[in-house]
Structure 1
Amino acid sequence: MIERADQLVLNYVSRAADAAHGVLKPDQRLDFARRLRARIEVERRGSQNARDVAKVLARFGDPVALVEREARRLAEAAAAAKDEQAASPGTSKDERAASPRTAASQGSTLRFPAITDDGAAPPGVRAYRRIAQERLSGSQGLSMPFAGLRRAAMSSANPMATGGRDARTIVKEHPRDVAAIVILVMAALLVPFELPPLAIFPIPLAVWAVGTAIVMFGESWELRDKLIGVGAPLLGYSLGGALIGGLRVEGGAGLQAFVTQFFDVSGTMFMIGTGVGVVWLSYRLLDVN
């Protein structure tokens, strides 16, 4: 668990350092990455929970935007230092080096730029701002409920457009959870094949049980999401099979006819339920932040 939370931080800082390559000078790039890591650790407050760390990183925003803001800050500091030097031609070199503006232009600052939820606004203003952001995100979620899946399809797009959440990033940061989803899909795809049972259990059921165990022990989903993801195939098999099988039985056909129809359609309903569960787990995994 600890390694995974630390890996999220390392991946984020690495993306920021990669984005700074060619934009900042080497010493500025190292200083930027060092200060970014230190600020993340401060905001993290020693948490080893991967979901909490992901929320902290989400507050910092897109690493590319941080690099662009750092480049603008350094450029403005350099211009200010140049103007100050032009206005005070008699200032010695040592005095200019001791100036905070000159130090900033050389690539070092006393503090990292404020992140999204910083600022000197009063508590009431920050509270109403947070409520407005939640309502805005909620309205966007209603209009585009599967926006996370859209971002996953844009794995080669601009990171600023995808919010840093694309298919490649998800696979890299959540390999076990992605493997669980793949196993559930395999369980559904094996249903049409008449494979010999494993002991007394059908092979699709055994594969589904493996995927279910991985999902239930994962940390990327809430308990509700896990129950939906692994429960949808069971509901499809039992309730869906009973409902569709009952509708296909003619009146007075008897219990044997119902059982026959149930087993004829339950496999298909299991596949449909698995598809629903996999879509939900994938959506929630993309929306983990």
Structure 2
Amino acid sequence: MYRVKQLSANTDLADFSLWLRQQGVEHRITEEGDQQVVWLANSDHAEPVLAALEQFLNRPEVREAVHETNHSPVFVNGRWQPSPRHAPAVLTIIVVAALVAWVTGLGRQSIASFFMFVDPTQFGFQSFTERLDAWTATLSQGAVWRLLTPDLLHFSWSHILFNSVMLWFLGSQVEWFDGRRRLAVIIVFVSLASNTLQYLVSGPLFGGLSGVVYGILGYCWLSQLREPRFQFPPALMVVSLIWMLIGFTPIPDMVGIGSMANEAHLGGLLSGLALAVLPPRRKQ
């Protein structure tokens, strides 16, 4: 073990020690008279640990954040692992989407048209003018739910599984840290933006939660830069952007994936970034 720091025995390092263990840093804290000594198994950890310790000792907000992380019911060994009771709204959306996927036969049953932006059996949508006319006629009939319900349509189980995993990981953090009301605002705003853009460009034959996922992704990424609170791997944004760009190429059709709702992804991402500019009203 390597001796890296000596402090007064009156300094409470319990939270800091627990946090180090959660980060996988092997260490020991011993007492020597009226002093306590921090030991590390790996000398390469000395510099970052000492820097973190200085922050912990000198900044009350850091001590509070470490304490909350250590004792939070949604973090296990420093990793974001909520249970269903911590994000009931996100879980409800996923369950409803799964039920819709089952009822509609993954979009193959005629009832799927009920969830589309406009009913493709009643309106033409080949030109932009036709799509605009169909949209205004649908709204004049009071079918406003169609602005949001394309989110619930999925056309393969892998499609809904991927969207559900991403929505659970990101959306549960928004619900926990920023509150259920903020999450609802994000989902509604992003859905309106992504679904409308996708429809106006290509018509009503689309669906999925991916627009919402991209919106929450953009919201979490920019929010994390402005006020860190989410557990968000930076590489996730890079991979998602690359995937979105691939969607605008012939590659998905060439490999058998089929066409993607590219405009929904783009509209979702941009609307999520726009909402991240607003200061959060955090629940926790």
TM-score bin (small chain): under 0.3
TM-score for both structures, normalised by structure 2: 0.26
Larger Cα-atom Rg: 1
Scaled by the length of structure 1, the TM-score of the pair is: 0.26
Q: Which structure has the highest helix share of the two?
A: 1
Q: Give the number of the structure whose residues are more often strand, by fraction.
A: 2
